[in-house]
Amino acid sequence: MRILPLAVLTLAACSLTALVGAQTPAGHRLVQPAEIAWGLMGPGGLATAIAEGDPTKAGPFTMMLKLRDGGWIPPHFHNVDKRLVVISGTLLMGHGDAIEAGATTELHAGGIGVMPAGTHHYEGGRGETIVALIANGPFTTTMVKR
């Protein structure tokens, strides 16, 4: 029985690791921040981008939201549960049919929010705020009428 030198085994292991790491499984998708195609910033200070999936069709999707400092998304609700993950900035979360800045909860980078379908809520940004919205489509947003 012949024993291979440690250097040969190490080289073989590194080559195998590089080969396995270079293969991308079907459906695997990575999106870098520079690849996010933001839409135009609206008058309320909100820009959106679809990172993956299609919110108009059945199935999971991830939508990115960017709020300018001081921007607000007026009271609204959704037809399905939504999850938010704050990437940067501070998201101000409030519940109800009118924006009350003093009645919000601050979610900082890394914070997570879950809103059940039909929950009336609104969001604001302190500093430029970037959030990942994760839900299953078809996804609709209904603005609360005042």
pLDDT in tens, 15-41: 444 545 567 788 888 889 888 999 999
The 10s digit of each residue's pLDDT in 126-145 is 999 999 999 999 999 999 98
Residue 16 pLDDT: 47
Could you give the CA distance from residue 40 to residue 58 in angstroms, rounded to a whole number? 26
Q: Is the peptide bond before 138 cis (omega within 30 degrees of 0)?
A: yes
- 42-46, 65-69, 91-95: which has the minimum mean pLDDT? 42-46
Could you give the CA distance from residue 73 to residue 88 in angstroms, rounded to a whole number? 17
Which has more confidence, 27 or 85? 85
Task: Using a cut of 0.75, tell me whether the model's pTM lies above it.
Answer: yes
Q: How far apart are the first and last CA of the chain?
A: 84
Max Cα distance, the chain (Å)? 84
Domain 26-143 fold: Jelly Rolls (2.60.120)
Residues facing 82 on adjacent strands: 115, 135
Residue 7 pLDDT: 53
Question: Mean pLDDT across the stretch 97-112?
Answer: 97
- pLDDT-derived band at 43 (thresholds 50, 70, 90) equals confident
The residue assigned the tokens 């609204």 is 76
Whether the predicted pLDDT of 81 surpasses 60? yes
Residues facing 49 on adjacent strands: 64
Question: Mean pLDDT across the stretch 8-13?
Answer: 48
The 10s digit of each residue's pLDDT in 49-71 is 999 999 999 999 999 999 999 99
